[in-house]
Amino acid sequence: MDEDPTARLRGVVNRLARQFNTSATHEGLTPTQASVLGLIAFRGPMTLTDVATLEGLNPTMVSRVIGRLDELGLIARTPSTTDLRVAYVEATERGRRTHERIKDEKGRVIAEGLDRLSDRDREAIIAALPGLEALSGQLPDPRQDRARRER
């Protein structure tokens, strides 16, 4: 095992991210589709440009993802009344329910994993949360950096 704490943390975060990403597949969505649906369900109506910027996706990928979510009835598009080139996307009731199931499944996966740990390991993870939250606030957001470069 690598003793470098930075390498260990990176490895753990990457493994956790892969495991969380698979929790949306039971809904028939790719990790990207589930992430975009979650963003739209959480933030409410938004433009495709907003989705691209916040998800760090190129416009072609956003169009494909939005098209698929629309086909599945998980989102609805509404044209702007002031600029016909712009459309807003919003989660449908079905989309919100799907997002909630995905969120619940991720929570269940985490809870079950924590339950299988020793009390000591579980307490260590809980005690580390404030530090991990602070770390996440200090790391650069590549999506925002990309959006700044494209302006």
**Using an 8 Å Cβ cutoff, are 60 and 40 in contact?**
no
Per-residue tens of pLDDT for the chain, all 151 residues: 568 999 999 999 888 888 877 766 788 899 999 999 999 999 989 999 999 999 989 999 999 999 999 999 999 999 988 988 889 999 999 999 999 999 998 889 899 999 999 999 999 999 999 999 999 888 887 655 544 555 4
Q: How confident is the model at residue 142, as a pLDDT?
A: 61
What integer pLDDT is reported at residue 140 of this predicted model? 80
CA pair distance 119, 116, nearest whole angstrom = 9
What would the CATH number be for the domain defined by 17-116? Answer: 1.10.10.10
Q: In the structure encoding, which two tokens stand for residue 74, read together?
A: 């998980």
pLDDT recorded at residue 116 = 96
Q: Given this model, what pLDDT does residue 69 score?
A: 97
Q: What is the pLDDT at residue 92? A: 98
pTM listed for this prediction:
0.80
Domain ranges of the chain: 17-116
Write down the pLDDT at residue 26. Answer: 81
Q: Identify the pLDDT of residue 33.
A: 94
